[in-house]
Amino acid sequence: MEIIPAVDIRGGKCVRFEQGDYDRETVFDVDPVSAAQRWQAQGARRLHVVDLDGARDGRPVNSDAVSRILAASSVPVQVSGGVRDVATVRAHIEAGADRVVLGTAAIKDQATVLDVVARYRDRIIVSVDARDGIVRTEGWTEGSEVGAHELVAELAELGVSRIVYTDISADGMLDGPNFMAIAELLELVAGLPSQIKVIAAGGVSSLDHVRELARIGVEGAILGQALYTGSVDLSEALNAASS
């Protein structure tokens, strides 16, 4: 299982939220490039970079910081936040992103999802962010009437090969992932006609959490708050994920 440190950017700084709440922010580094380089130096083999302002506003906002991370990174980087059209996907890939993550578009503009998947195949990820099993959009600030399982089945039909699944209630709380929801999602994708790989995000705060995610079979785990607070050591997490 791959361990993927998160670098979340708001106002040009590296921050973390609790449960996706923009009013519950902690700044961990004034320079997100420094954070990205720190995780690389400690052994990260991939980074997950999120433009939080972009996710809420529906367009890239922290493009300069994202571009600087891409230019400075020696490992693959997946970029998320405010990706709603083909032009933005293309711009990130041309800037050096290995993968690009769409979220809101998966609910509001599936034609764009179909288009970018046709163009870029497995370089496209869709973020499925849910609270109580219901998908939220616009940087988690808006609800929907779409269930996470329903959306994932639709994404399979669109040719999506990889998702990031986040249980919003667990994100940033360090209380542990929602293992039951993740296991149920894995059971769903195992029965779909086309394969979808699952990266889990939200709530990881111990090596036991890492081991359990590896056991149930996710492709990767995104770690944020736990790394920044020191609850989890990255090198130890990498070892736990492969043991």
- Kindly list the catalytic residues: 8, 129
Instruction: Report the alpha-carbon distance of residue 201 to residue 181 in Å, rounded.
Output: 12
Instruction: Report the alpha-carbon distance of residue 132 to residue 134 in Å, rounded.
Output: 6
Residues with Cβ within 8 Å of residue 22, at least 6 apart in sequence: 10, 52, 56, 139, 141
Instruction: Report the alpha-carbon distance of residue 79 to residue 201 in Å, rounded.
Output: 15
Residues with Cβ within 8 Å of residue 143, at least 6 apart in sequence: 131, 134, 136, 137
